[in-house]
């Protein structure tokens, strides 16, 4: 399925406000206004207080890709059950104001999408033609964003914590690929399998898998010290 760009749709149908030139009709303005405002407030809180998001914002800056709240984030109405997306063409993170339910959900979505933005910044990711590139970034986003840290107690009991985490990362990466690319399940599974070990073990810029806010706080502190250390050389 790689390389058939003409046939691929890039998942934009999930984000009707993107590239359609038209805002979605049928919503009442006051409710959209409230949701939009609420989304922006939650975004502010995530960027100012969440250690995962703060670390990634700093890491982007150190890599020469400073992220600006007004330029790089956009609260929008989305279709289906998607919570967010990274629009590589415009380097914008889309936050689905109609699907993000609360602050902790916002924190996870912002973190997940910032990991894609970070990958986009540091590596030449071919999002549209190379499904393994996409798979790698989805594995990293699921692994490092906390998406898999709360998890399903039953699975945790069945597989043990470490195995459960891996199973969850694999599963989430697969679902994310299938949501945004027209590839077969087999092709997506193969892409995830091919790059899994390498990408699962790549913890940049966290230096570890942050399983909790506390882990993320330590990772953030270490990241700042790492910067200071290099600055003193």
* Residues of the shown chain interacting with Zn ion in the complex, contacts defined by CB under 5 A: 138, 141, 176
Question: How far apart, in whole angstroms, are the C-alpha atoms of residue 207 and residue 216?
Answer: 10
Q: What's the min distance (Å) between Cβ of 141 and Zn ion?
A: 5
Nearer to Zn ion, 141 or 195 (CB): 141
CB of 25 to Zn ion, least distance (A): 28
76 phi, psi to nearest 5 deg:
-140, 165
Cβ atoms of 107 and 133 closer than 8 Å: no
Minimum distance, C-beta of residue 216 to Zn ion, in the bound complex (Å): 18
**Residue tagged 């699907």 (tokens):** 99
Q: How far apart are the first and last CA of the chain?
A: 47
Active centre residues (catalytic): 113
Closest by CA to 135, choosing from 180, 83, 87, 85, is: 180
Least separation, in Å, of the C-beta of 84 and Zn ion?
Answer: 8
Which CB atom, from 111 or from 176, has the smaller least distance to Zn ion?
176
Q: Cβ closer to Zn ion: 87 or 138?
A: 138
Strands 73-76, 84-87: parallel, antiparallel or unpaired by DSSP? Answer: unpaired
Nearer to Zn ion, 76 or 138 (CB): 138
Distance CA 199, CA 9 (A): 25
In this structure, the number of other CB atoms found within 10 A of the CB of residue 186 comes to 9
Alpha-carbon gap, residue 59 to 204, rounded angstroms: 9
């Amino acid at each position: 399925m790689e390389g058939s760009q003409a046939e691929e749709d890039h998942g934009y149908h999930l984000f009707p406000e993107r590239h359609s030139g038209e805002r979605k009709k049928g919503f009442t303005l006051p409710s959209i206004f409230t949701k939009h405002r609420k989304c922006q407030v939650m975004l502010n809180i995530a960027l100012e207080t969440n250690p995962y998001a703060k670390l990634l914002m700093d890491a982007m800056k150190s890599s020469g890709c400073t992220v600006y709240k007004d330029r790089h984030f956009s609260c929008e109405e989305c279709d289906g059950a998607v919570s967010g997306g990274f629009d590589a063409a415009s380097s914008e993170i889309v936050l689905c104001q109609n699907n993000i339910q609360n602050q902790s959900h916002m924190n996870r979505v912002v973190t997940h999408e910032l990991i894609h933005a970070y990958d986009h910044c540091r590596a030449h990711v071919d999002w549209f033609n190379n499904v393994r590139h996409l798979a790698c970034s989805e594995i990293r986003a699921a692994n490092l964003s906390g998406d898999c840290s709360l998890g399903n107690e039953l699975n945790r009991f069945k597989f043990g914590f470490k195995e459960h985490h891996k199973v969850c990362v694999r599963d989430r990466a697969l679902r994310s690929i299938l949501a945004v690319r027209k590839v077969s399940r087999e092709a997506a599974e193969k892409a995830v399998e091919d790059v899994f070990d390498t990408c699962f073990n790549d913890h940049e810029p966290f230096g570890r898998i942050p399983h909790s806010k506390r882990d993320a706080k330590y990772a953030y502190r270490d990241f700042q010290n790492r910067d200071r250390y290099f600055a003193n050389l």
